[in-house]
Structure 1
C-alpha cells in the first residue's frame, strides 16, 4: 500500500537509473529504461542448467542483464551466458524465477518461472518495478517484490507489492497484504502496511519477510497455510535464511544517511545479532554462499559487483564477481 506521493519518474540520468533499479531505487524510471534494453525473457541455447550443482547464477551486468553462470570453484573464469534478460533472478532445486520487462509502448513486467533447463513454465504479470525474488529450498514456492510507487526503501512514498506462487498447486497469492498480521500478538491493520523480501523455510510453508508501518520496519514470520504473519523484532529488512535454517542475514538501518544500512546476522534461537565486517552500505537481499559466508550485490561507483563476507562478523569483504548482481548458488 502507498503512503502517498508518486514514483520518481525520469529524473535521473541513464547510468544512475540502470544501477538504481538493481538496488531497488528509481523504480518507475527503471521500468521505462529496462523495457528499451532487452525485452522479455526469451531463452536461447546455453549450457546453463538450474540443477547443475556447484555453480553460481547471477545477472551479468556487462551484457544487458542476462542470466549467467560460473563455477563456484573458479568464479573469475569464463562466464556462460543465457539469453534470459533478468532484472532480478533466483533459483533453487531446479526452479528459477526471472523478473523481466517486456518491451512495448507501455512496458510490462513479469515473473517468468523457469524449469531446470531454463524453459519457461509459468508467467505472472506484476504491477510494478522488480525489486526482490526468492525460491524455496525445494523449488516449490516462488516469491517476488515489486515497487508500485516510491523510489527506494527509505522513501516516504514507499509502496511495494509482494506475491507468492505455489508451483505444486499453481495458486498465486497476489499480495501478502491479504494475510492477517499479528503485531505484538494482536491483529493489526493499517493503510500504510508494506511487505518485501520473502525468504522461505525448508517446509515450504513458513517464511520470513519485512513489514513496514508507521515509519518502522519489522521482521515477520509467516505461515502460508494459515495466511498469517507475526512480528518478531524491529529493524530487520530483506532477511535471507541460511542453508541450515538457523540464521538470517539482513540489512539493518543505521540512521546514517551516508551509509543507510549495514549487514547483520540474526541467530533465530537466541535472537542475538552480529554486525558483519562489511561496513559499507548494502541495499540488497543478501544470499548465502554456504553456512559460513554470505554474498550480496553492491553498487560500486558506476558498476554493480558481487561481494562475500564471513557470517560470524570476522574477516573482511572480498570481491567475488565484477559486473554482476542478484547472485544465487545452485546447491
Structure 2
C-alpha cells in the first residue's frame, strides 16, 4: 500500500490532556475493501475507509461523522453523500469521540482508558494548516460553572504546539485582563490562517473573543457566547446562548451574531443545543441533539426563518468535505 493509500497520522498523541484524551491529526485516507453489514433498527453501515480529499475538487460533497448506531462500527467515522444523508454509511475503522476536517486535514479526539469525561470540541482551519481542540477536564456538569478546560492549537506545517490559550494576553474593555478562573473553549478559525474565535469564561460570564496567532492576543467581542462557529464568509458567528428562565441543565438556544453590527438573531430551533454547530453552507447550520442511539443530526436555517429538520439518525460530530 502506497503512502497515498494509507491513513497518515501527522501528529499522534500531540499532547496529554490531563489523562482525559489524546489528539491525532489525520491526513488523507483512501478506500479499502468493503463488506455489507446491516443492523436491525438502525442505519446500514458498510466497512471501508473514509476519503478526505486534500484539495477542493468538482466531486460531490460528502458528510463525515461519528456513527452512533449500535453494532461493530459504533463510534467509527462514517461517510455518506451530503445530498443523501440517510444513504448506507461507509465506516472507516477509525474511532473518534470528536472529529472535524477541512482541506485534507482532520482531527480525531480519542478518550484514554479510564477517562470518564466525554465533552470535547475540535476544529480545523479552512486551509487545513491549523487544528484545535478543547477538553473539559474537571467538574460535574458543563451546563454549570464547576469545570476546567484545556484549549490547544497545532500548526500542522511546522508542528508548533500552543498547548493552552491561557498563555495569550486577554484584552477586555480595552485593557489587559487577568483572572485565576479563566477558561477557553470552542475554537473556530478564520480563512486567513491568523485569526480565530473562541469562548472565554470568567467570573460566571462567557464572552466571544477574537484571537490573533501572531500577536498572541485575545480580544473580547460580545457577551454570552459559547461554542462559536464562524460562517464560510467570515461575517457571522453561530453559537449557543444561555437564555434566562430555562432549565439549568438545558439553558442554551442557537443564535447567529453579525460580527459587523453585533446584531443577534435567534434561530428556529427551540430545543437546548449543547453542541458546536457546523455551517453546512452559507445559509444552514448542522448540529446534534439527543436521540435514540445517543444523538441525531439536525439542520436549521441560519437567518432565523424556517424550522429545524432531522438530517440523519445516530450521528454526531459532522464535517462536510
What is the TM-score with the length of structure 1 in the denominator?
A: 0.78
Bigger Rg, structure 1 or 2 = 2
Q: Please state how far the C-alpha of 1:269 moved relative to its aligned partner.
A: 1.3
* Structure 2 SS opposite 1:76: coil
Q: Please state how far the C-alpha of 1:64 moved relative to its aligned partner.
A: 2.5
Give the aligned partner of residue 224 of structure 1. 213
Q: How does 1:170-181 map to 2 (within 5 A)?
A: 170-181=159-170
Partner residue of 2:236 out of 227, 244, 247: 247
Partner residue of 1:49 out of 48, 51, 62: 51
Q: Please state how far the C-alpha of 1:270 moved relative to its aligned partner.
A: 1.0
Partner residue of 1:285 out of 257, 276, 281: 276
Confirm or deny that 1:270 pairs with 2:261: yes
CA contact (8 A) 2:78 2:91 kept: yes
Q: How does 1:73-152 map to 2 (within 5 A)?
A: 73-103=83-113, 129-152=118-141
Kindly report the root-mean-square deviation, in angstroms, between the aligned alpha carbons of the 2 structures.
2.4
Cα distance in structure 2, aligned partners of 1:130 and 1:282: 14
* Structure 2 SS opposite 1:152: coil
CA contact (8 A) 2:284 2:302 kept: yes
CA contact (8 A) 1:277 1:316 kept: yes
* Structure 1 SS opposite 2:304: coil
Q: Please state how far the C-alpha of 1:50 moved relative to its aligned partner.
A: 1.2
Cα distance in structure 1, aligned partners of 2:280 and 2:94: 23
Q: Please state how far the C-alpha of 1:152 moved relative to its aligned partner.
A: 3.0
Cα distance in structure 1, aligned partners of 2:134 and 2:146: 16
CA contact (8 A) 1:99 1:130 kept: no
Q: Please state how far the C-alpha of 1:53 moved relative to its aligned partner.
A: 5.2
Give the aligned partner of residue 235 of structure 1. 224
What is the TM-score with the length of structure 2 in the denominator?
A: 0.80
Deviations 1:46-83 (A, max 9, x none): 34211175000100011331011100111111101011
Confirm or deny that 1:322 pairs with 2:313: yes
Which aligned runs of 4 or more in structure 1 are off by greater than 6 angstroms? Answer: none
Q: Identify if the C-alpha distance between structure 1 residues 313 and 280 changes in structure 2 by more than 3 Å, giving closer, same or farther.
A: same
Confirm or deny that 1:66 pairs with 2:68: no
* RCO higher in structure (CA 8 A, sep ≥6): 1
Q: Identify if the C-alpha distance between structure 1 residues 170 and 130 changes in structure 2 by more than 3 Å, giving closer, same or farther.
A: farther
Cα distance in structure 2, aligned partners of 1:141 and 1:302: 32
Deviations 1:222-250 (A, max 9, x none): 00111100001100110001111111110
* Structure 1 SS opposite 2:166: helix
Give the aligned partner of residue 13 of structure 1. none
Q: Identify if the C-alpha distance between structure 1 residues 75 and 161 changes in structure 2 by more than 3 Å, giving closer, same or farther.
A: same
Structure 1 unpaired stretches of 5+: 1-27, 36-40, 110-127
Q: Please state how far the C-alpha of 1:102 moved relative to its aligned partner.
A: 4.2
